[in-house]
Amino acid sequence: MRREQFTGKGWTAVALFAMLAAAACIESSCATQAPQTSKTAQSSQSAETAASACAVPTTMAGSNEQTAWQLFVASSCLTNGHLTWETWTEQTCFAQPDSPGCSQTANLAAAAPVRHLHASHLARRLRRPAPRQNLLGAAPGGCSPMTTKANAPSSLKPFVPTNLSANAQFCEEVFADPSEASFVKAPASGATLTNLAAQVSYAKSAAITFPTPAIEVKADWLPATSLNNAFNCTTNQPTGVYVETIDGGCYALVGIHVSSKLLPNWLWATFEPQNTVTNPNRCNSDLYNSCNDPWGSNPAVSTGQSTEATAALKSLMTQAGLPKQFLNYRLVAAQSDYVDANNKAIQLGNSFVEFNAGVLPHQASCITCHSSALVSTTGNENPNFSNFPGTPTIGTPGKPPLPAQGGGTWISQDFSWMLGIMPSKAPSTKKM
């Protein structure tokens, strides 16, 4: 083919043709269209976005509060129809491995996990109403009495809700994520932390220190029957509160503690739904502390009034595809130290979890309480569930006195009271 050499009139003709074409394009409003993203590509992008939001953070974000929300969202993403933390190992399965559902070797996320609602360990220790063996359960039951006018210390009576039914109870679950569960079961070859004697043995060669990815979730559930004019899980759900039917009963998720080993002394955070029927004392600074969340709440500080979720929080939850009720949950606060810059004790308490366990006003601090998680070298659990006798209940921990029972010295359980509920010794093996 002969190549044309455009010179003189040839160039004029080409230029005239280009001008006419441009004019025609303007007349017909033609424009370069962006390529349309295929539905497959859009679906892939959505899946990637959800996967990112549901990925458990491995490092701290820009603030304690942002990290707390990332942990909350990632652990609450849906896995085969269940909240992810519901597929983790519940503490009953460490202490009572023969309980139903605990011996499964298959992925629990593939089927409905067996639930182990039980009493509050904190309530048991503060009230001391029941022996150790009644703390954990293989099925819903054996839960704790709520704080009522009849059983409340005088300082808690003003905060008792007026809508409680007779014999009102609350139930609890405590879950360890896979990294923590693996460490508890086998921190080293031939070792375990699933009983107090084994913890003492392990500590002879290494400190009990959980891996950085470790997460614990404590969930407190309110049975519908614990309130007058009870809600239900079908036609009368409490507004903005996540509910589940567990073994035929309707339960509302009214308090969530999330703790993470991303920091040496852990990051502590607690969440509640904005609902005055289920959580009437939320953010009440006369009880524990006001709410403070500069990352997820607008305004950041509140004392019980409803707030708006920030755009950043809404985006994170939307990307993760969380149940819509979680948009109504708020971070009470996040804690990573005992005291503030003025050496004043930092308070952190959940108006449902701590209140119904019997924690007195202004005496709640997650980090101080958990710093008392100790086992003696003679294999006894520390009986003091806050700070130590003669020292403030919250703030920088005092030096613990030597163990009164059995003697010896103390071994740190790395802030995990869950290790304290383990049996004293490994169960004996029965010979057939």
User: For 126-140, what is each residue's pLDDT tens digit?
Assistant: 875 444 434 444 334
Q: What is the pLDDT of residue 428?
A: 67
Give the pair of three-digit tokens for residue 146.
């709520």
Name the average pLDDT for the chain: 86
Q: What is the pLDDT of residue 142?
A: 74
Q: Is pLDDT above 90 for 2? A: no
Q: Is pLDDT above 50 for 213? A: yes
Give backbone dihedrals phi and psi of 257, rounded to 5 degrees, phi first. -100, 135
CB atoms within 10 A of CB 297: 23
Question: What is the C-alpha to C-alpha distance for residues 350 and 287, in angstroms, rounded to an integer?
Answer: 10
Count of positions (residues) in the chain: 432
Domain ranges within the chain, ordered by starting residue: 48-420
Residue with tokens 């003091």: 384
What one-letter code names the amino acid at 315?
A: S
* pLDDT band, very low/low/confident/very high, at 389 (cuts 50, 70, 90): low
Q: Is 102 helix (H, G, I), strand (E, B) or coil?
A: coil
CB 326 within 8 A of CB 318: no
Q: Is pLDDT above 70 for 54? A: yes
Q: What is the pLDDT of residue 124?
A: 84
Provide, rounded to the nearest whole percent, the portion of the chain with pLDDT above 70.
81
Q: What's the whole-number mean pLDDT along residues 221-240? A: 96
Confidence (pTM): 0.85
Question: What is the C-alpha to C-alpha distance for residues 304 and 333, in angstroms, rounded to an integer?
Answer: 13
Q: What is the pLDDT of residue 399?
A: 84
Please list, residue by residue across 144-166, b when 16 or more beta carbons sit within 10 angstroms of its beta carbon and e when fewer do: bbbbbeeebeeebeebbbeebbe
Question: What is the C-alpha to C-alpha distance for residues 372 and 81, in angstroms, rounded to an integer?
Answer: 37
Q: Is 335 helix (H, G, I), strand (E, B) or coil?
A: strand
Q: What's the whole-number mean pLDDT along residues 63-69? A: 98
